[in-house]
Amino acid sequence: MSENQNLLAEQRRALILDEVRRRGGVRVNELTRKLGVSDMTVRRDLDALARQGVLEKVHGGAVPVVEASTHEPGFEAKSGLELTAKEDIARAAAQLVAPGSAIALSGGTTTFALAHQLLDVADLTVVTNSVRVADVFHAAQRVAGPRPGAATVVLTGGVRTPSDSLVGPVADQAIGTLHFDVLFLGVHGISVEAGLSTPNLAEAETNRRLVQSARRVVVVADHTKWGVVGLSSFAALEQVDTLVTDSGLPGGARSEIAEHLRLVVAGERED
């Protein structure tokens, strides 16, 4: 892997994280040889990944974080992670939205970033169970005032989760009566075996309703979501049409995903 010495920091860290998860732990000297970079560079990368909470530093190396499948970080905790990746994903996903269409945005920090990119798309009808996403559109209208082509926003009712999504029977019933052209779905985790998953059982059921009501399903998820499995699976990869992710996704994962659905990597041209 000596050809990786000129990789961008985010790409290098993605390779490190993939190695840690695949092997259950790595040593610093192994990473310096494989990546062709200095000991100090590897240690800085491990520090950065440890601050993100995706691995744990140990003497001489790093191991995966063993996180309960029921652990659900709050919106604020997640909003500071992978900011560049989420913005790149949001810009790429926005290119899939046609003016005048009816779309749904689930809860999550990546769909929140996508909402900002959709403010200038004309005549959208936006259904969302995210308080944060709805507020993006409402705040824009408060600032700019009524304007032709502004989005019509439908916010489902329900019980609020730590990630500021509305879930439960009220949300499920509202979503079940609607039909969307495209659903943009944020996820806690994605894998071949478990499909799409979340640590919140009520959110899993609401997400199932969202998937069932959509003609097309587009998952927006950065590379750190790959290989993560939450308590409850709510959709198989075969139910997803497109995954929009960032360039940090390792090559092996790309090959696996491409066997099941269309893969769009933000900033890269599709094959």
CATH topology of domain 76-265: Rossmann fold (3.40.50)
Which residue do the tokens 């409850």 mark?
Answer: 232
| Stretches in the chain below the pLDDT threshold 70 | 1-7, 66-82, 271
Report DSSP state, residue 100: T
Contact 195, 236 (CB under 8 A): yes
Q: What is the pLDDT of residue 4?
A: 44
pLDDT of residue 211: 97
Q: What is the pLDDT of residue 81?
A: 59
User: Model-level pTM greater than 0.85?
Assistant: no
- Each domain of the chain, given as residue ranges in start order, spans 9-66, 76-265
Strands laid side by side in the 102-105 sheet = 152-155, 125-128, 102-105, 180-185, 214-220, 242-245, 262-265
Burial string for 126-137 (b: 16+ CB within 10 Å, else e) reads bbbbbbbbbbbb
Q: Residue 149: its pLDDT value, please? A: 85
136 phi/psi in degrees, rounded to 5: -60, -45
Residue 229 pLDDT: 86
User: What CATH number has the domain spanning 9-66?
Assistant: 1.10.10.10
User: What pLDDT is attached to residue 68?
Assistant: 47
